[in-house]
Amino acid sequence: MQYVNRRMFVAGAAAVSVMPAQAFALNEKQAGALVNSLVGDINKVIDSGKSEAAMIKEFEKIFKRYADLPYVAAYAMGVDARRATAAQKKAFTTVFTGYISRKYGRRFREFIGGRLEMSKVRKVKNYYEVTTIAHLRGEAPFDVSFHVSDRSGKDLFFNMFIEGVNMLLTERSEIGSMLDKRRGDIDAMISDLKKAG
């Protein structure tokens, strides 16, 4: 029980600040341009008529191009990353990339017949929040927001909100639950993650 409570405490403390620690020369125009390009690529995939498997492959390419995946993966592993070996961290990041592409690729597939369009950009502390609006058939429009930073040396998004659901916090909780089921066994969790999403 101590193991679970320790991670939950650290995750709760981290929830107050889920942004990269450093920002460089990113500006509003660049953040908007990144997400505009991202949205364009997502719209192309959902309009492609490809199979689910083919779409997920395309979404993985999109995540690799536009997302700060090392940061997202490290955040998802949370405090448990401190006891992971370098090899485990590398393996986790690779497997996590596939997992998150499958999971959110399937979520974006629900947008088939609809579209994402740019709405607004605003500076929040040391990153930019870029809000888009999802227009789906038979549903009221809703926000899909991306948090953009250049902490990695490139303009990339490091968090995403779909209808208010925070990707970083959601995935930290998911990975934590998977570790709990495996009694903290990181290798077993990585193996499970290969089939998840």
Query: Phi/psi at 126 (nearest 5 deg)?
Result: -110, 30
pLDDT in tens, 1-33: 334 433 443 444 344 345 555 545 899 999 999
Rounded CA gap, 22 and 172, in Å? 21
Domain assignment present for 22 = no
The number of distinct structural domains making up the chain is 1
Taking phi over 0 as left and psi of -120 to 50 as alpha, with beta for the rest, 153 belongs to: left
What CATH number did the domain enclosing 76 receive? 3.10.450.710
pLDDT attached to residue 22: 52
Domain assignment present for 91 = yes
Residues in the chain where the model's pLDDT stays below 70 = 1-24
Output 188-193 pairs: Cβ under 8 A, ≥24 positions apart: 190/88, 190/91, 190/92, 190/95, 193/92, 193/95, 193/96, 193/99
Domain assignment present for 139 = yes
pLDDT in tens, 67-84: 999 999 999 999 999 999
Domain assignment present for 21 = no
pLDDT attached to residue 138: 86
Output 72-75 pairs: Cβ under 8 A, ≥24 positions apart: 72/96, 72/100, 72/158, 72/159, 72/167, 72/168, 72/171, 73/97, 75/14, 75/18, 75/168, 75/171, 75/172
Domain assignment present for 87 = yes
Domain assignment present for 20 = no
Q: For 156, what's the count of Cα atoms within 13 Å in the CB-facing half-sphere?
A: 18
pLDDT attached to residue 24: 53
pLDDT attached to residue 20: 53
Domain assignment present for 148 = yes
Secondary structure of 132-151 as H, E, C letters: EEEECCCCCCEEEEEEEECC
pLDDT attached to residue 7: 47
CB 104 within 8 A of CB 127: no
pLDDT attached to residue 112: 86
Domain assignment present for 50 = yes
Q: Which domain holds residue 105?
A: 2-13+27-193
Locate 41 and state its tokens. 């690529």
